[in-house]
Amino acid sequence: MHWVDVYAEQLLGRGKKHFVESGTSISGEPHLGSAEDLIISDGIAKAIIEKGGECKAIWAMDDLDGLRKIPKQLPKEFEDYLGQPAFKLPCPDGCCASFADHFTRPFLENLARIDVKPEPVSVAKMYQDGKYDNVVRIAMDRAAEITAIIKEVSGSDRGDDWLPFFPICENCGRILTTQAYAWDGQRISYRCKGGIAGKNFIKGCGHEGAVGIRQGKLPWRVEWASRWSHLGVTFEPMGKDLMASGGTYETGKAICERIFNSPAPLAVPYEWIVIEGGKRLGKSAGRILTIGELIDIATPEIARYFFFRSKPTSHKDIDFGLGITKLAEEYEIAERTYFGQDMGLPEKEIEDVKRNYTASQISGIPERLSQVSYSHLISTVQVTNDWDHILEKLARTDDISGMTQAEEQRLKVKVEAVKTWLATHAPEDMKFQLQAEHPEIEISAEEKAILAKLLGKLEKAEWTAEKLHDSIHTTAVESGIKAGAMFNLMYRIFLNRTKGPRLGYLLASLDREFVVERVRHFST
Ligand SMILES: [Zn+2]
Ligand SMILES: [Zn+2]
């Protein structure tokens, strides 16, 4: 059974109504990895609903978290805001109501493009509106027990006088710099003495004061537990590092059960996405890959597919270059498999592959197969830019007859994705300029003879990528040359270069008369 169904059934065994939470700290533009838990949540939520259950999804914007470092895309002036909660920060470009708005709106808009639409909730607003009053009081009254649980589960000793609350300093506005030291049942006394954020020490202003329970926040582990309890969260995806023994999840679970008397949610561990063979997302210098970018170059369905094709805990490496064409090809195989074609997959994988496909759909599951491959479009869109002309070419090589409006729309989106990929992430090899005139190149006598042999085949060949590829391959075999040398020769006469996209697709995108004329010219 596919993992979305395994989780859905496990949850339905506990009850019919579900609530999934995911959360993201707001410290700049959320990268692709921040979308991962929302998409996993969405897949499981949809499976629950398909099986007759209910599921509500919220996305907690952790905008009370203090700013720990200045993201590269922010102006230097933002250094003044270090240690302050994100909800207090202004929009860096002056275009939105707040810092959080500026970065979360595009993130949510892009998620909506792949039908992931959780209800966004500002954590700062929840505290300010008093939604947390109850849990904060409980946490403060039972601070000693919480300290003991943290020590017991995680081994970390906070000290006897520790209070689980970070006030926002009334003088400097920072939250990462305060230490609470007394609770009188109404107000929390604190000192603004400075605090550590990653490798940096953020100086406090020295202020001493007391605030009410809405002017600050609980520390992360306590906050998480209180949120599960307060909202009734039944499952939550989390990076698998949080699930280590004695880690955040175990501590939160113990606090949730023993302090707030609520069951902890089912944890769905996932592996973080890495790029290009191992770099952690968001840590690669100056480069943020976002879910929007992935959708733009891959299409919405293929972007979703990336998250459903393998278990959440399996290794996830994304490569926006050639990797996108491989991802697209895998998706296309899944699509053909779903529509009953034998793609040579092992029998035991077929059901999961079909489910990978259905979990990736956005506006319902198509009723029939209507597919033009990504690789084919890489050639077509470089031969012509005009939509009608693209359709005319494809009509000769692919079955696109009688496309419905929805099918045509999906094809249009795919064409745009391929164009965007070519303009942004495609390796140079994949880009070409079709030579409208005969290029000025040297062709040897042996090569002329090979082209003459190919000519006879091209005049009769069925004009499909596969058949054209076969003709070229057979010619190479018959002539006793390597396939690579044969491809190289063809790229030279059509593109005036030695490499290019898949040759069968390239030729199929061109008119037979044009191809035949070109080969004939260089064969004599
Ligand atoms: Zn803005
Ligand atoms: Zn201060």
Q: State whether residue 431 is helix, strand or coil.
A: coil
The number of residues making up the chain comes to 524
Q: 91 alpha carbon to ligand 1 midpoint, in Å?
A: 5
Q: Which ligand is nearest to the CA of 93?
A: 1
- For ligand 2, the distance from its centroid to the CA atom of residue 181, given in whole angstroms, is 15
Cβ–Cβ under 8 Å, residues 451 and 515: no
Characterize 162-180 residue by residue with b for buried, 16 or more Cβ atoms within 10 angstroms of its Cβ, and e for exposed: bbbbbbbbeebbbbbbbbb
Q: How far apart are CA 218 and CA 164, in angstroms?
A: 6
- Report how far ligand 1's centroid is from the alpha carbon of 99 (Å): 7
Residue 512: what pLDDT? 93
Q: What is the pLDDT of residue 287?
A: 65
pTM: 0.92
Distance 189 CA to ligand 2 centre (A): 13
Ligand 1 center to residue 132 CA distance, Å? 29
What pLDDT shows up at residue 285?
A: 44
Q: How far is the CA of 105 from the centre of ligand 1 (A)?
A: 9
How close is the Cα of 83 to the center of ligand 2, in Å? 10
> Comparing C-alpha atoms, which of 23, 9, 12, 55 is closest to residue 252?
23
Q: Which ligand is nearest to the CA of 91?
A: 1
How would you list the strands of the sheet with 119-122, edge to edge? 119-122, 54-62, 17-25, 235-239, 266-270
* Closest ligand, as measured to the CA of 104: 1
Instruction: Please choose, from the candidates 99, 97, 96, the residue with its C-alpha nearest in 3D space to the C-alpha of residue 80.
Output: 99
Only one residue has tokens 């197969």, namely: 369
CA 87 – ligand 1 centroid, Å: 13
Cβ–Cβ under 8 Å, residues 22 and 235: no
Q: How far is the CA of 73 from the centre of ligand 1 (A)?
A: 13
Residue 283, pLDDT score: 53
Ligand nearest to the CA of 74: 1
How close is the Cα of 96 to the center of ligand 2, in Å? 27
pLDDT digits (tens, 9 = 90+) for 173-211: 999 999 999 999 999 999 999 998 878 899 999 999 999
Q: Write b or e for each residue in 495-514: b if 16 or more Cβ atoms lie within 10 A of its Cβ, otherwise e.
A: bbbeebbbbbbbbbbbeeee
Q: Dig out the tokens for 490 from the structure.
A: 């063809």
What are the φ/ψ torsions at residue 7 (nearest 5 degrees)? -65, -45
Closest listed ligand to the CA of 83: 2
Centre of ligand 1 from the C-alpha of residue 294, in Å: 22
pLDDT for 306 equals 97
Nearest CA among 46, 56, 167 for reference residue 119 = 56
* pLDDT digits 0-9 by tens, 98-116: 999 999 999 999 999 999 9
Q: Which residue has the tokens 């914007």?
A: 61
- Ligand 1 centre distance from Cα of residue 78 (Å): 14
User: Ligand 2 mean position to 208 CA, how many Å?
Assistant: 8
Distance 331 CA to ligand 2 centre (A): 53
State the amino acid at position 182 in one-letter form: A
Q: How far is the CA of 354 from the centre of ligand 1 (A)?
A: 41
Q: 438 C-alpha to center of ligand 1: Å?
A: 51
**CA-CA distance, 204 to 189, in Å (whole number)?**
15
In the reported structure, the alpha carbon of residue 253 is separated from the centroid of ligand 2 by a whole-number distance in angstroms of: 32
Side-chain-facing half-sphere of 301: CA atoms under 13 Å: 24
CA of 97 to the centre of ligand 1 (A): 7
Partner residues linked to 121 by β-bridges: 60
Inter-CA distances, 514 with 90, 362, 388, Å: 59, 40, 19
Distance CA 331, CA 374 (A): 10
Token couple for 331: 């998706």
Cα 190 to averaged position of ligand 2 atoms, centre (Å): 10
Per-residue DSSP letter, 66: B
Q: Give the residues across from 497 on adjacent strands.
A: none
Give the CA count within 13 Å in the CB-facing half-sphere of 477: 6
Amino acid at 187: R
Ligand 2 center–CA 167 separation, angstroms: 10
Query: Three-state secondary structure along 198-222?
Result: CCEEECCCCCEEEECCCCEECCHHH
Regions of the chain short of the pLDDT cut 70: 277-287
